[in-house]
Structure 1
Amino acid sequence: MSARSAIVLLLGIATTIAGCDKPASGNGQAAAGDANAAASTATAPAATADEAPAAAGTAPKAGTVDRSHKGEAAPAVAFTNAAGKPLTVKAFGGKPTLVNLWATWCAPCVKEMPTLDAAAKAANGRVRFVAISQDMDPKKARSFFAERRLSTIQPMYDPQLGFSLALNANLPTTILYDKRGRELWRVTGERDWSSAESRALLSEA
């Protein structure tokens, strides 16, 4: 790795770590995540309580739905599956795909993962669930999935942080893409993906 690449990677790690919410408080919500989570677009469905825009100058609540990127194509950044095969979101064309960017060192990521697995089971294959680990050591992510017996979500690996850097995303960030690989919405920060509100969101795919 060149010196320039190393600097870019370290800056990306610092940005992602800085954005990862701290462990959740007693009310189940983590601290506010990425300030890029903005108000819904005019073409989006009527905003619910978890889609309300934040007050001017304040960061949105963690878990808030952001529709400001609706219609954008998924990054053409490659990540790898368990066999080491490079893949992109475009390769999953033909079926809606939920991408979750996470890492084992991110407490809110770890906390919400079982609810993502439950949501994936409830979707019964209608939506593909992909968890792209931003751990620099893929073995940690593999061990995490094995220890917690998370068998429904497809684990992927991105040790170069290419996906989160392409989106300038904090962790966790979850994005729903339609079957053409176009974004429908994204959520930054921890969320209960097994809740009725989240099931309604997933039904948009």
Structure 2
Amino acid sequence: MKRTNPDSKLVTRRGALSLGVSALTIGTLGIYGCSDTSGNASSGLSDELKAKIAPLLVGDIAAMAIRDNADDLSELTFNGPDGKPMKMSDANGKYRLVNLWATWCAPCRHEMPALDALQKAKGGDKFEVIAISVDGGGEEKPRAFFDEIGLTNLGFYHDPSINVFNELKKKSLALGLPVTLLLDENSRVVANMNGPAEWASPDAFKLIDAVSAF
């Protein structure tokens, strides 16, 4: 009778286990190897764009920061200037500075003329300021505010449900009002900030010139 060495079975089992672990390791490396360590696989934003605008976030807009994982806000829904529901993706094709504001927010009221001036100076085929009122109820009060302070360049956007703010809060993009986001042409967040800024300043104009030329 042929005798079996028990140690050989142990070696075989150890070998199989080793091969299994190796395969798992290779598989894991394969998964991570397919990802872009720069973050571009998840964000879709190029390092070139980030490098271009990062040095421009200074002075009056120093509180704005590059968003590493550029959230896709294409599905955000609110009312457009015609009063009808629209998605953020409906305005794709241009960079946008999206600002959430309300008439009861003093810092918001203070910065609205600057946003209006920014739209006048830089708005066009490649860039638009989209200031969305999150006042609850009807649009009468926020529209009256537009007339009261003479905003003539901004389109009137409204989200009476406050859903836009809540969605941004879930993504840690909104802590309070005002909230401002720089979106690329595909509604992905390039940079964001909480709090007011001087949007009619040379610093803001340089930023918009840079992204519009990208």
Q: TM-score, normalised by structure 1?
A: 0.68
1:4-43 aligned within 5 A: 43=47
Aligned to 1:5: none
Counterpart selection for 1:198 from 194, 204, 213: 204
* Conserved 8 A contact 1:75-1:163: no
Question: Deviation digits for residues 121-165 of structure 1, max 9, x if unmatched?
Answer: 110413111111010032111101112221111111111111110
Aligned to 1:68: 67
Larger Rg: 2
What is the letter of the counterpart of residue 108 of structure 1?
P
Secondary structure of the residue aligned to 1:187 is: strand
Do structure 1's residue 146 and structure 2's residue 147 form an aligned pair?
Answer: yes
Aligned to 1:164: 165
Distance 1:135 1:63 in 2: 27
C-alpha displacement at 1:92, in angstroms? Answer: 0.6
C-alpha displacement at 1:71, in angstroms? Answer: 2.8
1:84-103 aligned within 5 A: 84-103=83-102
Distance 1:165 1:123 in 2: 29
Aligned to 1:179: 185
CA pair 161-180 structure 1, distance change in 2 beyond 3 A: same
What is the letter of the counterpart of residue 160 of structure 2?
P
Aligned to 2:133: 133
Distance 1:173 1:75 in 2: 17
What is the letter of the counterpart of residue 166 of structure 1?
E
What is the letter of the counterpart of residue 192 of structure 2?
R
CA pair 68-178 structure 1, distance change in 2 beyond 3 A: closer
* Conserved 8 A contact 2:57-2:64: no
* Conserved 8 A contact 1:63-1:190: no
* Conserved 8 A contact 2:100-2:133: yes
Unaligned runs of 5+ in 2: 1-44
* Conserved 8 A contact 2:130-2:154: yes
* Conserved 8 A contact 2:64-2:193: yes
**Number of equivalences:** 156
CA pair 49-167 structure 1, distance change in 2 beyond 3 A: closer
Identity level (%): 33
Distance 2:84 2:114 in 1: 27
* Conserved 8 A contact 2:67-2:190: no
What is the letter of the counterpart of residue 146 of structure 2?
F
CA pair 88-113 structure 1, distance change in 2 beyond 3 A: same
Aligned to 2:195: 189
Aligned to 1:123: 122
Structure with greater proportional helix content: 2
CA RMSD of aligned residues (A): 2.5
CA pair 160-63 structure 1, distance change in 2 beyond 3 A: farther
1:102-117 aligned within 5 A: 102-117=101-116
C-alpha displacement at 1:83, in angstroms? Answer: 3.1
Q: TM-score, normalised by structure 2?
A: 0.65
* Conserved 8 A contact 1:70-1:185: no
C-alpha displacement at 1:47, in angstroms? Answer: 4.2
Secondary structure of the residue aligned to 1:98 is: strand
